[in-house]
Amino acid sequence: MSAVTLRRQRYVPDLQRLGALCEGNYQRLRRLRRVQGGDTDVLQFDLHREAHYLGRVSISVLQQTRYTETLLLEQVHNSGRWLNNPELTVRVYHDASMAEVISFYGNRQVAAVNDYPNRFMHHPDEKVQLNGFVADWLDYCLRFGHVTPDSSPWRSADGVEDQAPAR
């Protein structure tokens, strides 16, 4: 038997998939804004699926510059914490029409590639997974969110505010 060393292939990020997720997340955030309207720095709404209350979602503007915004996306459910409530920081690039997760639970930057295994057991493709989670979560919010009157608008890359459609 020959001594063949098996090497694990290094993870190469799928930039096309990540870019598509970030572009989609930007559009989802804009649609949430359009449904909401208003003129504050916080967008809040409840999630209900049929008669089941699923919590309250809050999207807050942490920082705003000419071409970017940093948002905090949170969901809180008051009936206990048997699951971790999502808390993600998302950077919105208006000039590129993209939104990407930059940290989660307020304490850790998301690396594009993680060595595996690693001390915290983060997946090699964690950035793609987190942006995929945000895509699914925002889709869910668009489908089951019940918007309150107070909200936060986000401007488009050209600085023009969208009109809120009748709901």
Q: Give how many domains the chain has, as a whole number.
A: 1
In a domain, 69, yes or no: yes
69 burial (CB, 10 Å; 0-12 / 13-18 / 19+) is buried
Residue pLDDT, tens place only, 94-124 = 999 999 999 887 667 766 666 666 676 566 6
User: What's the alpha-carbon Rg for the chain, to the nearest Å?
Assistant: 18
Name every residue whose Cβ is closer than 8 Å to that of residue 68 and which is 6 or more positions away in sequence: 91, 92, 93, 94, 95
In a domain, 85, yes or no: no
In a domain, 117, yes or no: yes
Residue pLDDT, tens place only, 12-44 = 778 899 999 999 999 999 998 887 554 568 888
In a domain, 7, yes or no: no
0.85 cut: is pTM over it?
no
Residue with tokens 């107070």: 150
Give the domain range for residue 28.
15-77+94-147
In a domain, 161, yes or no: no
Closest to 103 in 3D by CA, of 142, 148, 73, 124:
73
Q: Cis peptide leading into 13, omega within 30 of 0?
A: no
In a domain, 2, yes or no: no
Element (H, E) at 27: helix 15-36
In a domain, 41, yes or no: yes
